[in-house]
């Protein structure tokens, strides 16, 4: 397991293309300047020891030195020991709607991206809790099992999209039933399910399923993403709009926030409905809800004793910079004697 202490210093890598551009610009300027004073054969006679390859090699070494320096500043750390630590928290499962209606752009940038931002920010605010993620559209599927590894969970979260489920619809009932299998600790007092959806096109008797979940100790909170005015559903390819979704009568489909459905689900499962339009308000609301719940102590394995690794990259950067200083741009004598390109034969 590794950690990056200061990832902001990856921006130092932007110096590499700048150095390369400057190098090529200087090369072009040199060639133009040389043409004004002499032709190429004469220039070779005037400066027989000048090596173009060495100049290129020096730039490559300089770029590698910048690369190493960037990683030294970032300071990657490697965990050298796994320990079992005790944590207190709540089991939190997120059920994320990935149906096509979530592509509507009535809330920026679109409903799905807004939902992923909300879940990501909520995860950032959590402490000792365990989390799981479920995706659903026409059917539900497990995305991340119950875990304390928030980094991996967010990585899987970012990859979720509307193409993950071929069948369309909004199978909230399936998502709730699948969430019940996530709570594998019978001693956990508080089990929380956050459904992030626009609440449209739901299938099945959602209210009864939510009620059954409540009887098993699962509190369901719904987060509505979208507007009641709604908007069309854009179908894009490689980020370019192709058309807007139409129904069987060839009329443009307008998708709207199904607030009543989401409120009904939350009410039946002893939770509450949360408006998802303001990210900070959602995070504050969720944090207050979880802080008001009894925490359960559980054990989790995690890497500890992280050790700095910057010295290897710093040493590499210093070595390359010193090598660059001592590497001259003239031809190496022993290479010159090899006569690899038969230059002496041409001169004779």
Which CATH number characterizes residue 149's domain?
A: 3.40.50.410
Query: How far is Cα 193 from Cα 140, in angstroms, rounded to an integer?
Result: 14
DSSP run (H or E) holding 296: strand 296-308
The answer to whether residue 65 scores a pLDDT higher than 90 is yes
Number of domains present in the structure of the chain: 2
* pLDDT digit string, tens, across residues 86-98: 667 788 999 999 9
Confidence label for 221 from pLDDT (cuts 50, 70 and 90): very high
- H and E: helices and strands count for the chain: 12, 13
Confidence label for 54 from pLDDT (cuts 50, 70 and 90): confident
Whether 102 and 238 map to the same domain: the answer is yes
Confidence label for 169 from pLDDT (cuts 50, 70 and 90): low
Range with the poorest average pLDDT among 56-65, 66-75, 78-87, 217-226: 78-87
**What pLDDT shows up at residue 341?**
43
Whether 18 and 114 map to the same domain: the answer is no
Whether 19 and 137 map to the same domain: the answer is no
Please list, residue by residue across 155-188, b when 16 or more beta carbons sit within 10 angstroms of its beta carbon and e when fewer do: eebeebebeebeeebbbbbbbbebbbebbeeeeb
Highest mean pLDDT among 55-69, 111-125, 132-146, 242-256: 111-125
Whether 262 and 335 map to the same domain: the answer is no
**What pLDDT shows up at residue 154?**
93
**What pLDDT shows up at residue 204?**
60
In which domain, by residue range, is 44 found? Answer: 2-75+309-347
**What pLDDT shows up at residue 208?**
83
Summary mean pLDDT of the chain? 83
Question: Are 100 and 162 in contact, with CB atoms under 8 Å apart?
Answer: yes
Whether 268 and 188 map to the same domain: the answer is yes
- Predicted TM-score of the model (pTM): 0.64
Q: Length of the chain, please?
A: 348
The answer to whether residue 332 scores a pLDDT higher than 60 is no
Question: Are 120 and 157 in contact, with CB atoms under 8 Å apart?
Answer: yes
Range with the poorest average pLDDT among 35-49, 55-69, 188-202, 308-322: 35-49
The answer to whether residue 296 scores a pLDDT higher than 80 is no
211-231 average pLDDT score: 91
**What pLDDT shows up at residue 81?**
60
Whether 223 and 322 map to the same domain: the answer is no
Is pLDDT larger for residue 318 or for residue 184? Answer: 318
Q: How is residue 255 annotated by DSSP?
A: E
Whether 129 and 239 map to the same domain: the answer is yes
Question: Are 61 and 327 in contact, with CB atoms under 8 Å apart?
Answer: yes
Whether 127 and 216 map to the same domain: the answer is yes
Whether 109 and 192 map to the same domain: the answer is yes
Whether 136 and 277 map to the same domain: the answer is yes
Whether 184 and 102 map to the same domain: the answer is yes
**What pLDDT shows up at residue 278?**
93
**What pLDDT shows up at residue 83?**
61
Whether 172 and 25 map to the same domain: the answer is no
Bridge partners of residue 136, in order along the sequence: 97, 140
**What pLDDT shows up at residue 325?**
81
Range with the poorest average pLDDT among 171-180, 244-253, 299-308, 319-328: 299-308
Bridge partners of residue 299, in order along the sequence: 86
Cβ contacts of 1 within 8 Å, gap of 6 or more: 78, 79, 302, 303
């Amino acid at each position: 397991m590794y950690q990056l202490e200061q990832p902001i210093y990856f921006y130092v890598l932007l110096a590499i293309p700048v150095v390369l551009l400057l190098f090529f610009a200087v090369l072009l300027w040199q060639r133009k300047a040389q043409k004004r004073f002499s032709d190429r054969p004469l220039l070779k006679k005037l400066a027989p020891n000048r090596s173009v390859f060495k100049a290129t090699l020096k730039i490559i070494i300089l770029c590698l030195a910048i690369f190493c320096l960037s990683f030294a500043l970032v300071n990657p750390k490697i965990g050298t020991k796994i320990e079992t630590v005790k944590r207190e928290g709540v089991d939190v499962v997120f059920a994320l709607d990935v149906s096509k209606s979530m592509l509507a752009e009535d809330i920026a940038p679109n409903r799905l991206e807004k939902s992923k931002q909300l879940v990501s920010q909520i995860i950032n605010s959590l402490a000792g809790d365990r989390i799981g993620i479920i995706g659903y559209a026409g059917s539900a599927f497990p995305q991340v099992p119950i875990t304390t590894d928030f980094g991996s969970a967010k990585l899987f979260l970012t990859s979720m999209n509307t193409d993950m489920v071929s069948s369309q619809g909004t199978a909230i009932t399936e998502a709730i039933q699948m969430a019940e299998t996530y709570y594998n600790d019978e001693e956990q007092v508080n089990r929380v399910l956050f459904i992030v959806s626009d609440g449209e096109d739901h299938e099945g008797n959602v209210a009864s399923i939510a009620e059954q979940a409540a009887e098993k100790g699962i509190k369901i909170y719904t987060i509505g993403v979208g507007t009641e005015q709604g908007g069309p559903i854009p179908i894009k390819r490689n980020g370019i709009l192709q058309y807007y979704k139409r129904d069987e009568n060839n009329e443009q489909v307008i998708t709207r926030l199904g607030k009543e459905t989401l409120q009904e689900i939350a009410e039946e499962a002893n939770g509450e409905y949360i408006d998802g339009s303001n990210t900070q308000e959602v995070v504050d609301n969720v944090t207050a809800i979880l802080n008001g719940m009894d925490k359960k102590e559980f054990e989790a394995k995690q890497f500890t004793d992280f050790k700095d690794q910057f010295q290897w990259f710093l040493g590499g950067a210093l070595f390359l910079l010193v090598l660059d200083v001592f590497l001259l741009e003239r031809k190496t004598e022993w290479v010159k004697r090899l006569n690899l390109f038969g230059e002496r034969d041409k001169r004779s």
